[in-house]
Amino acid sequence: MFSNFSNSVGCLVTHRLPFHTYLATYLCIVNCSLLSQYFYLNIVFHESISPTSRSMTHHPRSSKKHNTRLRLMVQSSQHS
């Protein structure tokens, strides 16, 4: 983030080609967009975004499916 910001400031100060200035500004906007998405999702889901939090074990439906399987297995073993 800081590198793209300093790049855009450098383009403005040294009067680079308009393409360089536009590209540096675009990259700053993309970085701000990604950071805002990160913080928004972090607030919405009340957990930090990490590889373990994105695994299927934390998916709300996966535990329900697993519990249903266990219940069916227990019921079939009781009837035998």
Look up the pTM and report it. Answer: 0.51
Work out the percent of the chain whose per-residue pLDDT is above 70: 56
Distances (CA, A) of 61 to 45, 51, 53, 70, 74: 16, 18, 14, 14, 20
Alpha carbon distance 57, 65 (integer Å): 11
Per residue in 61-79, pLDDT tens?
A: 555 555 676 666 667 666 6
Per residue in 46-63, pLDDT tens?
A: 655 555 555 545 555 555
Per residue in 2-28, pLDDT tens?
A: 788 888 888 888 988 889 889 999 999
The whole-angstrom distance between residue 42's C-alpha and the CA centroid of its chain comes to 8
**32 against 51, higher pLDDT:** 32
Contact 28, 5 (CB under 8 A): yes
Question: How is the chain split into domains, by residue range?
Answer: 2-79
Identity (one letter) of the amino acid at 33? Answer: S
Count the neighbouring beta carbons within 10 Å of the beta carbon of residue 8. 21
